[in-house]
């Protein structure tokens, strides 16, 4: 293998901290309508050491008080309104006004992600109950704050804590917040075309595991970077990059990437080791071993044979190893 410069992509938080917005109750803050909380142990104990939380409770901070009446969303014609469940008193306008003001502030806080409280009429991201005027609820709504957040910051990785119980959705979200943090660090500087090419190169396998089509489209965009307006290029590249990563990587696509990576050792590995690696990749594809098993062997061979291209790939370690997000089958 020819000698290449190793470009390390660190999953650890360097320079500016990785800041993540979060519904305050998930950190144990007693701000729920009844004065309680919904502390999430994974977020506080496992992910917490790697991020700086920015806690927000829209209902409490918008002045609805503590304790406060329970509220729900109701559909009136084409409009969704936030009302108190018993009295019917409406708080839609005050919540929308608060949400827009707070989100404008968040734009200056360099958030790399946001975790929302599920089912909340203010923070629920998906399947929030919306009642009709006839009283029958449907789970097809989005909380008012959550909707404003996603519209205002479309590239920001957003997830709700209930969906984080799914191992693949959990890994995908955390992979995205670390990738977005790296992307922010790139475009925060007076970036050069060479820096963008280097960034794109080290994320090649990671992008391929999510969407080969978008990876190719981004490659074409990077190839024309010198002819593109800076702001237009930045916005388009960032949007497509985050869109690609939002598609959850499947065992099939991960297998293709693993096989691609294994090809870098075909002239170095003895036959028995090549067969062992191939078998482990096959076992992963069939759900017999977790992704971390073949990945660990590939990382070992990349270091053993000093394959600089692979050593620098974000796919090998897109987030802190201590989170053990690739240890599930």
pLDDT tens figures, 256-267: 999 999 999 989
Please say if the pLDDT value at position 197 is more than 70. Answer: yes
Tokens of 222: 């990077």
Please say if the pLDDT value at position 1 is more than 80. Answer: no
Q: Quick one: average pLDDT of 177-203?
A: 97
In angstroms, the CA 311 to CA 300 distance is 10
- When the pLDDT of each residue in the chain is averaged and rounded to a whole number, the result is 93
pLDDT band (50, 70, 90) for residue 16: confident
Q: Is the peptide bond before 67 cis (omega within 30 degrees of 0)?
A: yes
Please say if the pLDDT value at position 282 is more than 60. Answer: yes
Helix H, strand E, coil C: the string for the chain is: CCCCCCCCCCCCCCCCCCEEEEEHHHHCCCCCCCCCCCCCHHHHHHHHHHCEEEEECHHHHHHHCCCCCCEEEEEECCEEEEEECCCCCECHHHHHHHHHHHHHHHCCCCEEEEEECCCCCCCCCCCEEEEECCCCEEEEECCHHHHHHHHHCCCCCEEECCHHHCHHHHHHHHHHHHHHHHHHHHHHCCCCHHHHHHHHHHCHHHHHCCCHHHHHHHHHHHHCHHHCCHHHHHHHHHHHHHHHHHCCCCHHHHHHHHHHHHHHHCCCCCHHHHHHHHHHHHHHHCCCCCCHHHHHHHHHHHHHCCCHHHHCCHHHCCCCHHHCCCCCC
pLDDT in the model for residue 13: 40
In angstroms, the CA 279 to CA 112 distance is 37
Among candidate residues 98, 106, 13, 15, the one with its CA nearest the CA of residue 55: 106
Please say if the pLDDT value at position 133 is more than 80. Answer: no
Please say if the pLDDT value at position 285 is more than 90. Answer: yes
Please say if the pLDDT value at position 2 is more than 70. Answer: no
- Model confidence, pTM: 0.93
Q: Quick one: average pLDDT of 145-171?
A: 97
Exposure letters 260-280 (e unless 16+ CB within 10 A, then b): ebbebbeeebeeeeeeebeeb
Please say if the pLDDT value at position 7 is more than 60. Answer: no
pLDDT in the model for residue 132: 86
pLDDT in the model for residue 15: 66
């Amino acid at each position: 293998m020819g000698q290449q410069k190793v470009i390390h992509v660190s999953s650890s938080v360097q320079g500016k901290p990785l800041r993540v917005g979060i519904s305050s109750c998930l950190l144990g803050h007693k701000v729920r309508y009844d004065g309680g909380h919904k502390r999430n142990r994974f977020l506080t104990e496992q992910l917490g050491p790697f991020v700086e939380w920015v806690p927000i409770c829209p209902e409490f901070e918008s002045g609805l008080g503590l304790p406060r009446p329970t509220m729900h969303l109701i559909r009136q014609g084409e409009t969704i309104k936030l009302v108190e469940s018993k009295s019917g008193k409406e708080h839609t306008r005050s919540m929308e006004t608060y949400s827009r003001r707070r989100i404008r502030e968040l734009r200056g806080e360099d958030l790399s992600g946001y975790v929302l409280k599920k089912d909340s009429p203010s923070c629920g991201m998906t399947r929030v109950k919306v009642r009709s005027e006839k009283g029958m609820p449907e789970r097809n709504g989005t909380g008012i704050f959550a909707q404003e957040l996603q519209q205002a910051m479309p590239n920001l990785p957003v997830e709700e804590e209930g969906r984080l119980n799914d191992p693949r959705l959990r890994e995908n979200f955390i992979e995205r917040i670390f990738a977005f943090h790296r992307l922010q660090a790139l475009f925060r500087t007076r970036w050069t075309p060479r820096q963008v090419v280097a960034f794109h190169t080290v994320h090649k396998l990671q992008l391929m595991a999510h969407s080969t089509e978008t990876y190719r489209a981004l490659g074409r965009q990077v190839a024309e970077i010198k002819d593109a307006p800076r702001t237009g290029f930045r916005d388009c590249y960032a949007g497509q990059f985050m869109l690609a990563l939002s598609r959850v990587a499947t065992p099939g696509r991960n297998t293709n990437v693993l096989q691609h990576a294994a090809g870098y050792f075909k002239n170095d590995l003895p036959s028995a080791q090549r067969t062992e690696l191939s078998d482990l990749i096959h076992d992963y594809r069939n759900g017999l071993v977790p992704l971390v098993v073949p990945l660990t062997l590939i990382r070992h061979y990349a270091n053993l044979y000093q394959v600089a291209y692979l050593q620098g790939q974000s796919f090998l370690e897109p987030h802190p190893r201590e989170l053990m997000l690739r240890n599930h089958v």
